[in-house]
Every structure is written in C-alpha cells, then in structure tokens.
A and B are shown apart, each in its own frame.
Chain A
Amino acid sequence: MKSGTRAPNRTIIMTSKPRTLYQKIWDAHVVDTRDDGTSLIYIDRHLVHEVTSPQAFEALRVSGRKVRRPDLTLAVPDHNLPTTARVDADGAMLPIKDVESAQQLAALQKNAPEFGIRYIDAIDAEQGIVHVVGPEQGFSLPGATIVCGDSHTACHGGLGALAFGIGTSEVEHALATQTLLLKQSKSMEVRVEGRLGAGVTAKDVILHVIGVIGTAGGTGYVIEYRGNVFEEMSVEGRLTVCNMSIEGGARAGLVAPDDKTFAYVKGRPYAPRGAEWDQAVAWWKSLATDAGATFDKSVVIRAEDIEPTVTWGTSPEDTAPIGGTVPGPEDFADPSKADAVKVSLDYMGLTPGTLLADVEVQNVFIGSCTNSRIEDIRAAAAVLKGRHKADNVKWAIVVPGSGLVKQQAEAEGLDRIIVEAGLEWREPGCSACLAMNPDKVPAGERCASTSNRNFTGRQGPGARTHLMSPAMAAAAAVTGRLTDVRELMG
C-alpha cells in the first residue's frame, strides 16, 4: 500500500527533444500554461530590499493579502544604507540622517516581520547587497527561479539559476502568489572560447560582450554564457558576468552549474543538506544544455580579442580596450548613435581621439553587486599592495558586498593593504553604485568604478563614470588616470 502511493521518481517534464539549460529550468517551474502562450511560473526564491518593496507591501495590506511562502522570501536592506560606521561604541545603530532613506529602511524593518519574512538587519554580520547575500547564504540555488525587485537579479544566474529583476507590481504578485505570469523568452548563446590574456577578468569579458551585442542586443532573450572561458571561470566571476546581462538588454543570463558551483553552494546556511543535497546535485547535473539543442541567436567571441576594458560614454555598450582612444560621433554609422555619442562625450567631458590612458580620475569606487565579493577585493588589494593612491585621486573607497566578505577580507589582512594605500575601507552596501545614499561622485568629476552602470547621473548628478574591473580600478587609484593594469603587474 505504502509503496503504491509513493510518487514515482520522475522528472516533471519528460521529453526527448534536446533542451537548453533555460528551457529545462523553465519546464520544471510551469504551474499552468494559458492558450495565449503565457505561463504561470513558480518562484523558488524571492529577495526583497527596501527600495522596491514598500509599495508592494502597502498593496498587500490594502487588499488584505498575505505572503504565500514567507520561508522562500528573504529581506535585506542595502541601497540606502550609509557605508560609514553603522553602530556606536555600544553596538547600537546610529541614526540615518537622510529622512527619506530612513523611512524606506524603517518600512522594510517593519514590513518583514509583519508578513513573517526572514529579515537580515542593517547591523547583522550577514547584511550586504541583496545579490551578494543570496548566493553567500545558500539561499540562491542552481536550477531555481529567483526574483528580486532589482534589475541586477540576473547576477544569481552565475549559479545556474533562472534569475531576473521584476517591478514592484510583480514583487506584490510574487509575495502574494509565489508565482509570476511570464512569457518564455528566446534563447541566446554567448560563447567565449580561447585563452584570456593576463589581466583580463570576468568584468572585462562582460564589458566586451556588451560592447559587441549592444545594450539592446539581448532584449527578449535569456543568455546562456557558454564556452571554455566560462567553464574555467570561478563561480564569483560567473556572478559578475551574469550580473550585467541586463546591460546587454537580457532579462536573465546563466551559466550551467558544475562541480565548481556545487562546491560553492555546499555547506552554506540555507543550502540543502543530507539526502536533499544528493538529490539536488543529481538534478542540477541534469540541467546542462543538451547536445543538439538550438539557440535562437548565437554570438561567438574569441577570448584573445578581449583586453582590459573600460567604458568612455554613458551607456554600458560604450566600451573600448584600455589601449584605445575615445571615439567620435563619426565613428558610428547609425546616426542616432552618433547623436547619442555627441551628447555623452559632452557629458563625459571627453574629446575624440584622446588616449584613454591619459584620462585622469579624481574618484575610485570598488564595490557594487558586480564586483564586491572576496575575489574582487583580493584582486584590488593585489594591485594596491605596497603602493599608494595618486594625489589627484581625492576620494577612493572599497566597499565589501556583505559583512561576511568584510570579515573574510579583514581575516586575510586585505583591509590593511587597502587603507595603507590611502583608500577607505567601508561598511557593506550599494554605496556609490547609485546615488541613493551618501556615497556620491561630485558633479563634473570622474570615477573609475567597478559598478555596472555609467548612465548620466547614476553616481550623482553630473558624475562621470568609467566602468572597469577591480584590478583596473585599483590601478587607476595608483596612477590617478585610467590605466592598463598589466603595466603594474610584475
């Protein structure tokens, strides 16, 4: 009797047609399909931060709705928090000066317990940028559907999860129903093969990819990053790559989970344990894109063509190798792009033909969900070790992605290297990635930044952002100008 009622050990969808990683994750999460091609997709993990959630909780309250699966939801503040000392000598939280920031932070602190959601407080060691915290806590898992009211949710795709950003109405929908109504995207393969040169990091790879496909190149697609470069890349590097998928227009980007991923996830606080772990690994191994599966679009890039890369404009597609020059409008065939280049060079205060390596920077920001994990801090510290920031660099901060990254870096002595080099070592948060908290770049000044967006005003009104890798940002801090990090490498 007992064995007769047990569910047979089968996968949710049986099909012989070769499928992509994206298709497999999608298939496993379909709750219901409608005639018009939309599907109700189950959401396994929902991350919540203070900026995009207040109006969603408000809507739930107004309509008397509950959170369906508080246990699949995790809330943590990040965007608004100052990155200066957070507690006084007695360990009590210092007040947040900005009234509106304080109000958003207080709303999350109140809403999470009210709806029974697990909440990491601003002064907990586990606090950090939501996209750093999810993987770090083992909350984000391979094969999972993961959402957050933030467009860089694609980051978690580095674990082989289907992760994407949603708006506040969808936050409300996911909280209330643990599902989202979605239309399947097309699939795109970005294949990078060959050998990356010295000094070329995951960040350079993704900046180069966006330069090639453009900011709208991935619109309507989910990208799978394939090829030996991603296979050989660390899990943290994959998180960096997937993080910026949205900058290429794609809502999500992922890398197939492999042994490296499993080793990364294993033993983290919310990761599966015991028999469930074995069951999880077996399933995760089955997710890789089948031989013979086809993609709607395919982009192939040679690793040898990628150099340490920086942006010169106000769109993430405005990339150039560090050895290059600032382009001019006439370098672009598309007249609307040429116009945009004119506007953005004006904003950036750059003249076409200028050597990028001659561009001086006054600010350096090493942090953000793209580059604030331990490997990023190590890479920056390796360049800074025994050196000092240039005098023309007025403000240079290193902001770890979480309290745990901070602890780890301090245990390795990286904070001392950073401080001795004249840079500030801060508390975790989004910081100067976006001008929402006190960390801003002054108008008209330039910042070498490891964040993901160089949009007009992103780091503060009038701020001029150059995106690059942590090692390159550290090199810029040392020389006071955009610099090829290879010149500082032994």
Chain B
Amino acid sequence: MQSISHVAGRAIPFGRKNVDTDVIIPAHWLKTITREGLGRGAFEAIRKEPGNIFDDPEFTGAPILIAGDNFGCGSSREHAAWALLDLGVTCVIAPSFSDIFSGNAFKNGILTVVLPQEAVDRLLEVARTETIDIDLETQTVTTPFQDRFTFEIDPFRKHCLLNGLDEVGLTLAQDTVISGYEARAGRELPFLTGAVTAATA
C-alpha cells in the first residue's frame, strides 16, 4: 500500500449529499476481477450531464474530492474506493461518510477527512479556483487564504496510512494470539469455532 502523509492539489468541489456507492461506481462495473481501470466508470451517470465537474479539464487528475454528507452510503462495494483511486483521488473530504466506505477507503490508502459542514462549504468555495493542502501528520487542512481546519483521525489508521502498512500482514503477525483465542473458544464455544462439518443424511 502507498504511504500517504501529505496531499496537495486541486480538489473536485462536488459537495452532493447522500452519494451512494451505486453513484460512485454503477453495478455493471462490478464484473471485473481486477482492481484497475474502474476510473472510467466512476460517477458514470453524473458524467452524462453536460458540464459536469468530473469532466472539467480543470479538475482532471485532482487528488482531492470534496463531498457532501453521508458519502459512500449504500452497497459495500470496495470498487468505489478503487474507482476513486483510479481517478487519482487519494483524499476525500466530507461532513460524514458511511462506515463501510470509510473503512474501504482506508484499506486502499485513501484518506477520508471529516470536517464540519461550514468548513466543507468553505472548502467547496475555495476549491473552485485554488488548491487545497492536507497534512496527515498535523491533521490539518489549509488553503492559500490562511484557512486552517483540523480533523480527527483514528491513531491506528493514521499510523498505517503514514507508513503504508498492510493490515493483513499486521494481523498475521499476531498469529499466536489468534491461535490462543481459537483454542479457548474451541473449548467454550465449540459449536462456533470448532470445525464445521455437514451432517450425513
């Protein structure tokens, strides 16, 4: 996974609320068996609208997306995160995210920044013409106009993002702890943790 400490550049001033993952990447794009190339299907329906922000040359390859409340609700498809990455987006700012989406984003090295609506409104305005700067180390979002917003982030997520750590590898290193649980639960809850076998009819 790519490490991420600083994201700076143009930000797509999207701002729409309750954007579900079907909007981010429609279901017919889910038939892939690889992670690449999904940027072409990102926001497909919106991109049919003339003058849409995603096809504005000004924002092509912008690393930041500014979204509205409840971004990424709906289906758990991780393709939404892959599609954003394929577009070049590595940071999404919004007043709130769906739980599943922010988890998926994190696991793919996308930073999700939660800021109050007023701050997001201000950034939406600035992003029309200016670049935006996000520093994960200091947990701040700044603009050329001296705006400065701080955000909260889970310390573990921050650590993983800063160091590009892969969660599976981290957990596998805890093998003995997992085996310990399995041994204990295997005695106490054998019907859950024990080997699952089918009844022979």
Contact = CB atoms under 8 A, between A and B. Distances in A.
B78 A167 contact: yes
A107 B30 contact: no
B118 interface: no
Nearest to B193: A44
Given A149-B76, A150-B76, A151-B76, A455 B192 contact: no
A169 B24 CA distance: 18
B184 interface: yes
Given A149-B76, A453-B74, A54 B33 contact: yes
Contacts of A51: 30-31
A144 interface: yes
Interface string A71-115: 110000000100000000000000000101101100100000000
A215 B78 CA distance: 20
Interface in A220-240: 220
Interface in A1-56: 7, 10-12, 28-29, 31-32, 34, 36, 38, 40, 42, 44-45, 51-52, 54-55
A219 B198 contact: no
A45 B192 CA distance: 8
Given A219-B98, A458-B27, A173 B171 contact: yes
Contacts, number: 197
A52 B77 contact: yes
Given A7-B187, A172-B168, A283-B189, A336 B22 contact: no
Contacts of B81: 167
A32 B74 contact: no
Nearest to B185: A42
A181 interface: yes
Interface stretch (A269-277, A292-300, A354-362): A269-277
Contact of B181 (A42, A143, A173, A215): A42
Contacts of B190: 272, 276, 279
Nearest to A137: B198
Contacts of B100: 151, 165-167, 251
11 contacts: A12-B184, A12-B189, A42-B181, A55-B33, A98-B31, A273-B199, A340-B17, A436-B31, A455-B22, A455-B23, A456-B22
Which 10 A-B residue pairings sit nearest by Cβ, starting from the closest?
A167-B78, A100-B31, A169-B107, A272-B191, A54-B33, A167-B104, A151-B76, A280-B191, A168-B78, A165-B76
Given A31-B181, A150-B76, A173-B168, 5 more contacts: A12-B189, A28-B189, A40-B177, A54-B32, A246-B74
Interface of B: 17-18, 20, 22-23, 26-28, 30-35, 45, 68-70, 73-78, 81, 96, 98-100, 103-104, 107-108, 154-156, 167-169, 171-172, 174, 177-178, 180-182, 184-185, 187-199
Interface of A: 7, 10-12, 28-29, 31-32, 34, 36, 38, 40, 42, 44-45, 51-52, 54-55, 58-59, 63, 65, 68, 71-72, 80, 98, 100-101, 103-104, 107, 139, 141, 143-144, 149-151, 165-170, 172-173, 176-179, 181, 183, 185, 215-216, 219-220, 246, 249, 251, 267, 269-273, 276-277, 279-280, 283, 315, 336, 340, 434-436, 453, 455-458
